[in-house]
């Protein structure tokens, strides 16, 4: 089986365009692996597939069994080490998982181009770009109705007697208490509550209602709903 030079150029060019589009989206998000990295991964996977499928056919004579997948099969596992380099841990947060997956899928698109499976590669690129771009807009609107948030509340109460009323109020709003820690400092009782907030519950309204209750000296909240620590004003 022979492949023309024009066909080789076409497959490499398509891999460059498709994987470059994914890389450009990642670079627009200031990720460590951007346009050039994704192009190199995609074109490299394309060339590996071309070499595996067409370059060694002259060695398959004499009763030997020719396996065109023996090199291409290693791309799937080999790309994992490159993707791992894009994953960065910052404190409790992990960044780069989407970029690592984008590198992995770029290698798959490159393999599809190398094998001449144009339809699959083009459709996959469209799906990936749709997932990265369209769902970035839709995701913040859907998550409040789908995701259970974790909220940490740091409260100051004037006495232990207020705790029972506080717990009853939180439970009545639909939030679930996961854990609690307390300490007393200069007569004030500091309480930290680990809350699970169900989807659809307005966390900001919950905090405002909580801050308006008597006996609270301060309310500080942190969690996924805020992105950083937030101090809620307390009514005097």
And the tokens for 180?
A: 């609690």
Q: Check whether 92 has a pLDDT greater than 70.
A: no
The confidence score (pLDDT) of residue 230 equals: 44
Indicate whether 49 and 107 sit together in one domain. Answer: yes
Spell out a b/e string for 152-163, using b for 16 or more CB atoms within 10 Å of the CB, else e.
Answer: bbbbbbeeeebb
Task: Please calculate the CA angle 27-28-34 and round it to the nearest 5 degrees.
Answer: 5
CA 61, 67, 68, 70 torsion: positive or negative?
negative
Distance from CA of residue 17 to its chain's centroid?
A: 24
Mean pLDDT estimate for the chain:
79
- Among the candidates 121, 144, 167, a domain finishes at 144
The confidence score (pLDDT) of residue 190 equals: 79
Indicate whether 138 and 160 sit together in one domain. Answer: no
The confidence score (pLDDT) of residue 61 equals: 58
The Cα–Cα gap between 127 and 52 comes to: 27
Please name the residue ranges forming H helices in the chain. 5-28, 35-50, 73-84, 97-114, 118-129, 135-146, 161-172, 203-211
Indicate whether 90 and 194 sit together in one domain. Answer: no
Closest to 81 in 3D by CA, of 58, 104, 98: 104
The Cα–Cα gap between 41 and 19 comes to: 8
pLDDT band at 223 (very low <50, low <70, confident <90, very high): low
Indicate whether 210 and 121 sit together in one domain. Answer: no
- Among the candidates 97, 113, 144, a domain finishes at 144
The parent domain of residue 67 ranges over 5-144
43 in Cβ contact with 19 (< 8 Å): yes
Closest to 19 in 3D by CA, of 97, 117, 129: 129
pLDDT tens-digit readout, 136-170: 888 777 776 777 777 888 878 777 767 778 788 88
Q: Check whether 14 has a pLDDT greater than 70.
A: yes
pLDDT tens-digit readout, 200-213: 777 777 778 877 77
Indicate whether 60 and 160 sit together in one domain. Answer: no
What percent of the chain clears pLDDT 90, i.e. is strictly above it?
Answer: 24
Residue position matching structure tokens 């770029």: 106
Indicate whether 91 and 204 sit together in one domain. Answer: no
pLDDT band at 59 (very low <50, low <70, confident <90, very high): low
The confidence score (pLDDT) of residue 218 equals: 74
């Amino acid at each position: 089986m022979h492949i023309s030079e024009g066909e080789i150029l076409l497959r490499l060019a398509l891999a460059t365009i498709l994987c470059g589009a994914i890389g450009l989206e990642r670079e627009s998000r200031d990720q460590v692996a951007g346009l050039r990295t994704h192009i190199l991964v995609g074109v490299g996977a394309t060339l590996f597939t071309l070499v595996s499928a067409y370059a060694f056919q002259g060695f398959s004579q004499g009763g030997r069994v020719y396996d065109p997948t023996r090199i291409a099969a290693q791309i799937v596992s080999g790309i994992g080490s490159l993707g791992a380099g894009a994953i960065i841990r910052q404190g409790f947060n992990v960044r780069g998982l989407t970029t690592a997956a984008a590198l992995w899928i770029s290698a798959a698109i490159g393999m599809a181009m190398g094998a001449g499976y144009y339809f699959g590669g083009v459709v996959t690129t469209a799906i990936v770009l749709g997932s990265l771009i369209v769902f970035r807009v839709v995701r913040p609107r859907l998550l409040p109705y789908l995701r259970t948030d974790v909220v940490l509340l740091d409260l100051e109460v004037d006495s232990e007697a207020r705790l029972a009323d506080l717990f009853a109020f939180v439970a009545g709003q639909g939030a679930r208490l996961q854990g609690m820690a307390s300490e007393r400092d200069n007569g004030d009782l500091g309480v930290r509550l680990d809350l699970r907030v169900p989807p659809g519950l307005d966390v900001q309204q919950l905090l405002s209602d909580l801050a308006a209750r008597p006996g609270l000296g301060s309310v500080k909240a942190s969690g996924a709903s805020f992105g950083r620590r937030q101090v809620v004003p307390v009514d005097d």
